[in-house]
Structure 1
């Protein structure tokens, strides 16, 4: 797939991302049309933006990284995540697959080992042109961590197929503590 002409990537830290809060919400609303329309409270723009505010909260102390894609100067997609800190909440409700033998070693974080990829989205008018993969690679190629993890809803077939194609593998399941959160498959890949 050929990326749209005029694609530019903007790298942001937590403070810079907070300054673009309205852009973040706009991209979400233009990317998750069906999810928002479903009425699922977890997918409401209000709950999404509440999670965004928590992810970018300076008091959180984690290393947050975000990339926004622009096509001809118009926001077209975004991706973000953060370095998992020691005792990361990411692993609190994690239930590993049988292939994970050394559980305590697997979830041990030192603040440099694992990047938690939290969100990736492309506005509906830009889907099908490789922009999601470009965002994915743009962010992960810039990370110093040794591995990355993400959550995906098991029935999100389109995203799941893409992640597997991009080198991700399932390692277990989790149900985050966010209100109305579904059960997610936990995927991993080496960086």
Structure 2
């Protein structure tokens, strides 16, 4: 775990609290994914992103959702969020495991795996360790055995950071969201169990 950069404070939000800060969530997204939005890829459009956010925080399906908001000198600068995967999690629906027993690997009971869904830092705050600090703040003290996240294979900057932070690839999947690309699936143990095989 790392020490947060100077001037950074964190705020932990439930799904309900996050929905109340929807405008801040969208503003951080727009300030973090400037190039991706400008590329015109429909999956990266702010409207599509906020549609996904609304689904993640829907009261009927948001059990355990947690968002960590980072502020630098009091101003929103980054955010990350995730949730524990429920039994029969849709997360694993189109998952292709590199090695081993897929059924055993994807078996969920609501307490086994924490899905880290998003992590982003506004462009003016990149390069100062804020992404790592957000990552550590969200995962610190989680009771689950392991965490999982998705990363686009050609996102070399993020991929390199995740590998450096202890994440390892275990397979691939394409989410059911419209225009979703194929992602590599990474895993990190949060306890001494479920240690993934190296790439």
The TM-score with structure 1 as length reference comes to 0.96
- For residues 83 and 141 of structure 2, the distance between their equivalents in structure 1, rounded to whole angstroms, comes to 12
**Alpha carbons 1:86, 1:109 under 8 Å: kept:** yes
Give 1:165's aligned residue.
164
User: What is the number of equivalent residue pairs in this alignment?
Assistant: 189
1:34-83 Cα shifts (integer Å, max 9, x gaps): 00000000000000000000000001143101100000110000000110
State the Cα distance separating 1:6 from its structure 2 match.
1.4
Unaligned runs of 5+ in 1: none
Task: Return the alpha-carbon distance in structure 2 between the equivalents of residues 31 and 187 of structure 1.
Answer: 22
Task: Determine the C-alpha separation between the residues in 2 that align with 1:37 and 1:79.
Answer: 22
Aligned to 2:50: 49
The 8 Å contact of residues 2 and 129 in structure 1, kept in 2 or not, is answered as no
After superposition, what is the alpha-carbon deviation per residue over 1:135-183, rounded to whole angstroms, capped at 9, x for unaligned?
A: 0000001311110000000000000000000000000000000000000
* Secondary structure of 2:117 counterpart: strand
Q: Which residue does the alignment assign to 1:104?
A: 103
Aligned positions of 1:99-178 closer than 5 A: 99=99, 101-178=100-177
State the Cα deviation string for residues 81-105 of structure 1 (Å, max 9, x = none): 11000000000000111x2x12111
Q: Is the contact between residue 87 and residue 107 of structure 2 (CA under 8 Å) also seen in structure 1?
A: yes
Q: SS at 2:76's partner residue?
A: strand
In 2, Cα distance between equivalents of 1:173 and 1:2? 32
Contact residue 3 and residue 133 of structure 2 kept, 8 A:
no
Structure 1 range deviating more: 101-110 or 30-39: 101-110
Say whether the 8 Å CA contact 1:62–1:84 is kept in structure 2.
Answer: no
Instruction: Classify the secondary structure of the residue corresponding to 1:106.
Output: helix
Aligned to 2:87: 86
